Amino acid sequence: MKRLWASAIIFVVLVTACAFGTIQTNRITSDLTATVQNAKKAAESGDDDLAYQLSKKAIDDWQDNHRILCTYMPHGKLEAIDQTLGALPSLSYYRATDNFTAECDRGILQIQYLKESEIPLLQNIF
């Protein structure tokens, strides 16, 4: 009977950890996507200073949340987003608007794929 209780407790802990990871991922990706989209809109409207500030904010937010995501995400996916976000400030600073908006689109897609990979769907499980 003790094994049954122990397995039930382990199951509850695992489900809670999975739920926490999904909630954190949704929060982080939603905030980051909004920041990158705002940076892209600023660049498209010609406000390069705001685009630069928002791209720096995206990097800071990403670095703050990176340690949380590293505990339960494949590092390859996270590294790709690191590289994409890392290019944004310099592209904005040198006013390479076309490249900046393309990198913003790429970053948004990578962030969305990261979010989708954590949703417990059959295609993600099997």
The structural domains of the chain, with segments of one domain joined by +, span 22-125
Residues 6 or more apart from 93 whose CB is under 8 A from it? Answer: 52
In this structure, what is the dihedral angle of CA atoms 108, 72, 20, 11, given to the nearest 10 degrees? 140
Q: How far apart are CA 25 and CA 111, in angstroms?
A: 10
Single pTM value for the model: 0.86
| Nearest Cα to Cα of residue 28 among 58, 56, 54 | 58
pLDDT at 83: 95
8 A C-beta contact, residue 43 and residue 100 = yes
Predicted pLDDT of residue 21? 86
| pLDDT mean by block of 10 residues, the chain; 126 residues | 90 90 92 97 95 96 92 87 95 93 96 86 71
Length in residues, the chain:
126
Q: How high is the pLDDT of residue 117?
A: 84
Looking at the structure, give the CATH architecture of the domain made up of residues 22-125: Up-down Bundle (1.20)
